[in-house]
Structure 1
Amino acid sequence: MSEEFEQEIPSIFEDRLWHHKGWEARVIKNEDDDGWAVAMTLDGQAEPALVGPWTMGRDKKNPKPLDMSAFNTLVKTASEIIRRHEQHLAALLHKEVEIEVRGERVTVALDIEPDEEMPTATLTATAEDGSELAKVAARPDFNLTRRSAQQWADAGYPRASED
């Protein structure tokens, strides 16, 4: 999000709602019990990145008001969750293994382009010097292992079959 847009949204500091620097913390009634929860949502996102329990106030009925320390901790935790989710997604969409072909190290990578209706994938072999040895379309469910990469290389990097 651009800084310009971020500055247009005024900060809100209420007992149960804080909006500051692109994040919203909202204290909500916990549907599962008599307690409270806090939902952290990044601007522009439909779903919260984090929903967790929230502390009761002294009256044991109402939630404790949000404060700067709690908000900063929640932002840090929610940001970490988003970062881990992005890393996990990247790991699912890009896999690579190293093999040896005629005494040279070769990196074989599978890159998946997600699409709900028609995902695609590309299998690429790259030499140690960075030169591309082969690049072919592959099935998105291709199981890239050292063994499958070695078999592909030993066969001369043929195009994947469309079975």
Structure 2
Amino acid sequence: KQKVKRIYGISEKQMRRYYEMATKMPGQSGHNLLQLLERRLDNVVYRLGFAISRTQAREYVNHGFFKVNGENVDIPSYLVKPGDVIELKEKYRNNPQILESLETVARRGIPSWLELDAENFKGVIKSLPTREDITMPIQESYIIEFYSR
């Protein structure tokens, strides 16, 4: 639980909220919890390679660097859904840190549930992330067990 909170940079209160949401969704609660965490806008910005860390991605989102479906979104916890288009605003496209992290992601690759158009600084959510897409060593069943007490 602590590890997951640190990986995604969220508070205990947020973690509890995601647990509540995950248990209300159909399917396995553990998978749902990880899916919700992966769908956070700050995480998607990181996964698409616009930032070298989730912390940096969170800051970029907070400072309004991105649009989702043409709308300004500055909430890191915003949950994206399939079909959403995340776009870097025009005025930030020459940011050297962003250009450098896009080069890094070209080597690292992006998850199969995302699609990156690096030339136009856009990313598309193709589908919801599955458990197989999340390669981090997380025991989600322990987290669910902890919160169900």
Instruction: Tell me if both proteins adopt one fold, taking TM over 0.5 as the criterion.
Output: no
Larger radius of gyration: 1
Higher share in strand: 1
What is the TM-score of this pair, normalised by structure 2?
Answer: 0.27
Counting helix residues as a fraction of each chain, which structure ranks higher? 2
| TM-score, normalised via structure 1 length | 0.25
